[in-house]
Amino acid sequence: MLISLALMVAPPALAQSDGSKGAPISADVIQGWRQADGTQITALRLTLAPGWKTYWRAPGDAGIPPEFDWSGSRNLAGVGITWPTPEVFNQNGMRSIGYHDQLILPLHVKPKVDGKPVDIKLSMDIGVCSDICIPETLKITAILDATDAKPIPAIAAALAQRPYSGSEAGARGVTCSLRPKDGGLEITADISLPSTGSDEVVVIEAGRPGFWVSEADTSRQGNTLRAVADMVPSTGSASLDRSAIRFTVLGQNRAVDIIGCSAG
């Protein structure tokens, strides 16, 4: 889960913050419920000051990607994150993708030893922006020991706000071609998908760390949405696994999340 462009407009100013009191974002944990397999369903609640926003996992060229460090936790085998559908922000000719006001971020927490509490100690580096952008470090602790199987409404609602899967949205697959370009690759993806509404944005993620992916140029012809973007590795090989490339379509009516494409 984790650039620069030559533009005629200046990006937001970058300031420093240590996440101290008075910061434009605060965080707490919503205790959730326990599934039959022992997984704890819980959530982070991020509350933003008026006029501030924070970012999705793929924040766009004008955003700051969030990073999670769970290494201080105990009895933690793994964490899965379900991202609610984000918004697209356009400011001064730059695009970012994220949330405002409040974000409830559902977590699927798997304990190492089932039946024992999970001691969460999370250090979260996250960007928040208004007229300036501030990298915040949030320190979050919680003891997860839910025994009730009854879902918590706020978390259930956030889970329901995830994008549709490809099958749920009627997608018939993605074909993609990759060609060398400027030390990286250019991807052309044809997504067979009914319209998701006006102003469709396609976000492409490489499916492996160490790749910068540009904003995609999108066009639609009937039930085919085409997205073209550059994919540049920070170091090393530019090879990609097509089955891991991720496409998120953000439209006015719905969002759709598709993983994988076939050679086209």
Identify which of 83, 72, 89, 70 has the alpha carbon closest to the alpha carbon of residue 12: 89
Residue 1 has pLDDT above 70, yes or no: no
Residue 16 pLDDT level (bands cut at 50, 70, 90): very low
pLDDT tens column, 98-153: 999 999 999 999 999 998 999 999 999 999 999 888 899 999 999 999 999 999 99
Straight-line distance from the first to the last Cα atom of the chain, in angstroms, rounded to the nearest whole number: 27
The whole-chain average pLDDT of the chain stands at 90
pLDDT tens column, 62-108: 788 999 999 999 999 999 999 999 999 987 778 899 999 999 999 99
pLDDT at 62: 79
Residue 21 pLDDT level (bands cut at 50, 70, 90): low
pLDDT at 52: 95
Residue 246 has pLDDT above 90, yes or no: yes
Residue 168 pLDDT level (bands cut at 50, 70, 90): very high
Q: Does residue 84 sit in helix, strand or coil?
A: coil
Q: What is the mean pLDDT of residues 223-248?
A: 92
Residue 61 has pLDDT above 90, yes or no: no
Residue 199 has pLDDT above 90, yes or no: yes
- What element of type H or E holds 157? helix 153-160
pTM of the model: 0.88
Percentage of the chain beyond pLDDT 90 is 80
pLDDT at 164: 98
Instruction: Please give the structure tokens belonging to residue 41.
Output: 């369903």
Residues 6+ apart with CB under 8 A from 185: 178, 179, 230, 231, 232, 238, 240
Residue 20 pLDDT level (bands cut at 50, 70, 90): low
pLDDT at 180: 92
Residue 209 has pLDDT above 50, yes or no: yes
Q: What is the mean pLDDT of residues 43-71?
A: 94
The CA-atom distances, in angstroms, between 103 and each of 14, 112, 157, 209 are: 22, 28, 11, 25
pLDDT at 94: 81
Identify which of 54, 47, 43, 52 has the alpha carbon closest to the alpha carbon of residue 27: 47
Residue 18 has pLDDT above 80, yes or no: no
Residue of 192 and 131 predicted with greater confidence: 192
Q: What is the mean pLDDT of residues 45-63?
A: 93
pLDDT at 253: 96
